[in-house]
Amino acid sequence: MRKFVLAIFLIALIAALSAGCAKGAGNVPDVLHEESSAGNQEPAVETPADQPVNEEVDMDGAEETETGEEPAEEPAQEEPVKRYYMNKIYDIKPLDEETDDRVVLLTFDDGPKDLEMIQSMLETLEKHEAKAIFFVNGFRVQSNPELLQMIHDAGHAIGNHSWDHIDLRKQTDDVIRQQVDDVQKIVEETIGVKPLFFRPPHGSSNEFLRAYVKEQGMLFMTWSNGSLDWDRNHQKPEAVVQNVLDQLRPGSNILMHELPWTVEALDELLTRLTEEGYGFVDPFEIRIDTEEAAEEETGV
């Protein structure tokens, strides 16, 4: 009898204890999970470019995409179908007959500089369901890593436009390597991926630069439609729109900059392009066939 009572008591005790444990175990990981993910995200966004901290930004970016999309399959998400290629005069052409050739590629150089301009550009691009390449300079990324992150988060492509925006044609091979590499590095540290496109400042290059860019797995380009927004005589929104429309043809690779009159012109420009029947190429749909591009290039 005494044994029976003892057994009942023990069973009751075990049941009570395990219920308590289960409760505790249920609470703890939730709390920890919330705290740790919040703790990871906060500092990364706010700290300026600084080597060790940037690694956190890197990890953060990866986590965000994983949790934001499908947790199980991360490599599958960045594999858009390649529907276009770039020809030797830097126009964007369809890879097959079913793909529309009446398209343009939108590119913006020399940023990221200014929050208001970037916000406005991103809003306008979203309104028109357009994607673009933002060719950035390393020294600007170092000052404004959060702007680079915004552009990346909005689904646009980042291009390498050298660290210092110098005329690379005149530089030694070592300087050229560094101007290219340092941008690949800071962009990867900031958003977790390296640029796939390269455009030399002033469109000025040499054979070594072209070969080196190709070696790094990037597609080299200048442009085929200059908005002239950098020219003192064309720094008005109407001029930017008109200059692009004057040179417009299927596949136009449109060069613009992060400049106030271009930002102001953007909505009107994209409206006019749409009215003319043009679509906007998603840069991630352009084939990065670096060998062909570089070979054809030297023949120009």
The contact set with Zn ion (CB under 5 A) reads 109-110, 201
Q: Which of 241, 255 has the CB closer to Zn ion?
A: 255
Q: How far apart are CA 225 and CA 255, in angstroms?
A: 6
Is 152 one of the annotated active-site residues of the chain?
no
The neighbouring-strand residues paired with 161 are: none
Q: How far is the CB of 109 from Zn ion (least distance, A)?
A: 4
CB-closest chain residue to Zn ion = 109
Q: Which of 202, 249 has the CB closer to Zn ion?
A: 202
3-state SS class at 280:
strand
Q: How far is the CB of 202 from Zn ion (least distance, A)?
A: 7
Among candidate residues 109, 110, 267, 282, the one labeled active-site is: 109
Is 165 one of the annotated active-site residues of the chain?
no
What pairing do the DSSP bridges indicate for beta strands 92-94 and 225-226? unpaired
Rg of the chain in Å (alpha carbons): 26
Q: Which of 136, 273 has the CB closer to Zn ion?
A: 136
Q: How far is the CB of 255 from Zn ion (least distance, A)?
A: 9
Q: Where are the beta strands (DSSP E) in 178-274?
A: 197-198, 219-220, 225-226, 253-257
The neighbouring-strand residues paired with 197 are: 159, 219
**Residue holding tokens 């673009």?**
132
Q: Which of 60, 110 has the CB closer to Zn ion?
A: 110
What pairing do the DSSP bridges indicate for beta strands 84-86 and 92-94? antiparallel
Q: 16, exposed or middle or buried, with CB in 10 Å at 0-12, 13-18, 19+? A: exposed
Per-state percent for the chain, helix, strand, coil, to nearest 5: 55, 15, 30
**Residue holding tokens 């009572």?**
5
Q: Which of 94, 201 has the CB closer to Zn ion?
A: 201
Q: How far is the CB of 175 from Zn ion (least distance, A)?
A: 17
Q: Which of 109, 297 has the CB closer to Zn ion?
A: 109
Q: How far is the CB of 165 from Zn ion (least distance, A)?
A: 6
Q: How far apart are CA 54 and CA 48, in angstroms?
A: 8
The CA-CA-CA angle for residues 31, 37, 39, to 5°, reads 95
Q: How far is the CB of 107 from Zn ion (least distance, A)?
A: 10
The neighbouring-strand residues paired with 94 are: 84
Among candidate residues 152, 156, 161, 257, the one labeled active-site is: 257
Helix (H) or strand (E) holding 94: strand 92-94
Active site residues: 109, 257
